[in-house]
Amino acid sequence: DESLETVLVAFDDERGVGTITMNRPDALNALNGQLRDDIIAGLESLEERNANADGVALRAVVLEGAGEKAFCAGADIGGFSSESAGGSSARSHYDVIRDFPAPVIAKIDGYCLGGGLETALACDFRLASEDSTFGFPEVNLGILPGAGGVQYVEKLAGPSVAKELAMFGNHISAERAGDEGLVNHVYADNEFEDEVDDFVTELAGQAPLAVQAIKKSAAMAVQTGLEEGIEYDRQLFAELLETEDHAEGAAAFGEDREPEFEGK
Ligand code: HXC
């Protein structure tokens, strides 16, 4: 395990699960430039470890916030710039999460606001404890969610919910976020750790190359028309048919046993 200035990085090589912990609990893990850089560096170090793995290679990443109160309370109000919204020539942490080959799971326990909610929305899955709260308070500061928040919520929950969240700036409960499709699962507080762990373990056991292809397909679906998207899926499908994982999955089915995927 290693620590960057504002991020803790851990890797469990039995399951192939990396964990990135945003570690500015005194500021509710607000995103300053250092934290944004460290999230990128943390993900890159997991990817490197992946290339040199002895045990199970990297199959999933959990992104969480340190402390009792927050996943992330948004961009650091101390200093906004267009970089806060990922607007510079360099790749933002939002881009790096979206393009990361393995799925990234936002583990949300507490405040998930503004750029913190946008960070969660850039992840592949959002798992929340029941006392988490969600919102876009930017309008109270005279700005809008600058890293695609309205766009993401519009795709997941529709324009009414996107505009209600962003124009009023109020917090909504985890239960409502679940009902609106903004989070995948809401878990009782006393079951949160175990439920997240089970979700991540199951995901990490899925055929890795298929999971990576599905992430790419899902990203394509939000950018392109249906016909082009289906054509893209056909190519991915043809590639996966050639993999050892597919042969293993088919053999395991025939032999009535659990498959052991190696990501090859
Ligand atoms: C910097 C923050 C912060 C933030 C909280 N803190 N949010 N510091 N940037 N976004 C700090 C507080 O100043 C305080 O520091 C400590 O964290 C604890 O917060 P409190 O306010 O004392 O806690 P509490 O009373 O429980 O209230 C929690 C809260 C409130 C409701 C989450 O902190 C809050 O409203 N925060 C701002 C949320 C916000 O507006 N986020 C969106 C930012 S805009 P001290 O030193 O006093 O202990 C954004 C734009 C993204 O994200 C788009 C790109 C440009």
Q: What are 189-213's pLDDT values in tens digits?
A: 999 999 999 999 999 999 999 999 9
Q: How far apart are CA 226 and CA 240, in angstroms?
A: 21
Mean pLDDT of the chain, nearest integer: 94
Q: What's the CATH code of the domain at 244?
A: 1.10.12
Q: How far apart are CA 29 and CA 34, in angstroms?
A: 11
Residues 163 and 226 in one domain: no
What is the average per-residue pLDDT within 166-182?
Answer: 98
How many CB atoms are located within 10 Å of the residue 58 CB? 26
Q: What are 211-224's pLDDT values in tens digits?
A: 999 999 999 998 89
Domain-located, residue 66: yes
pLDDT at 74 over 70: yes
Structure confidence at residue 156 as a pLDDT band (50, 70, 90): very high
**Residue numbers of the domain that contains 52:** 2-204
Q: What are 111-127's pLDDT values in tens digits?
A: 999 999 999 999 999 99
Q: Nearest residue CA, atom 32 of ligand 1?
A: 73
Domain-located, residue 264: no
Q: What's the CATH code of the domain at 51?
A: 3.90.226.10
**The two three-digit tokens of residue 34, written as one number:** 């250092």
77 CA closest ligand 1 atom index: 9
Q: How far apart are CA 228 and CA 232, in angstroms?
A: 6
Residue 28 has φ and ψ, to the nearest 5°, of 50, 35
The SS3 assignment for 82 reads: helix
User: Which one of 163, 187, 204 terminates a domain?
Assistant: 204
Give first-to-last CA distance, the chain, whole Å. Answer: 26
Residues 187 and 71 in one domain: yes
Residues 15 and 86 in one domain: yes
119 and 73 in contact (C-beta within 8 Å)?
Answer: no
User: Which one of 162, 188, 204 terminates a domain?
Assistant: 204
Q: What are 85-113's pLDDT values in tens digits?
A: 666 667 999 999 999 999 999 999 999 99
- Is this complex scored with an ipTM above 0.90? yes
In what helix (H) or strand (E) does residue 63 lie, and over which residues does it extend?
strand 60-65
Residues 219 and 192 in one domain: no
Residues 47 and 71 in one domain: yes
Domain-located, residue 25: yes
Domain-located, residue 112: yes
Residues 246 and 136 in one domain: no
Domain-located, residue 260: no
What is the average per-residue pLDDT within 158-170?
Answer: 98
- Domain count for the chain: 2
Give the residues across from 17 on adjacent strands: 12, 60
The SS3 assignment for 185 reads: strand
Residues 88 and 216 in one domain: no
Residues 38 and 96 in one domain: yes
Give the residues across from 203 on adjacent strands: none
Mutate to test the pocket of ligand 1, among 77, 108, 132 (most ligand atoms within 8 A of CB): 77
Q: Nearest residue CA, atom 34 of ligand 1?
A: 73
Give the residues across from 31 on adjacent strands: 75
Write out residues with Cβ below 6 Å of ligand 1. 27-28, 30, 73-78, 80, 84-85, 111, 113-115, 137-138, 141, 145-147
Write down the pLDDT at residue 57: 85
Residues 155 and 247 in one domain: no
Residues 221 and 101 in one domain: no
Domain-located, residue 249: yes
Residues 108 and 216 in one domain: no
Residues 185 and 212 in one domain: no
- Name which of 145, 146, 98 is nearest 124 in CA terms: 98
CA 21 to centroid of ligand 1, rounded, Å: 18
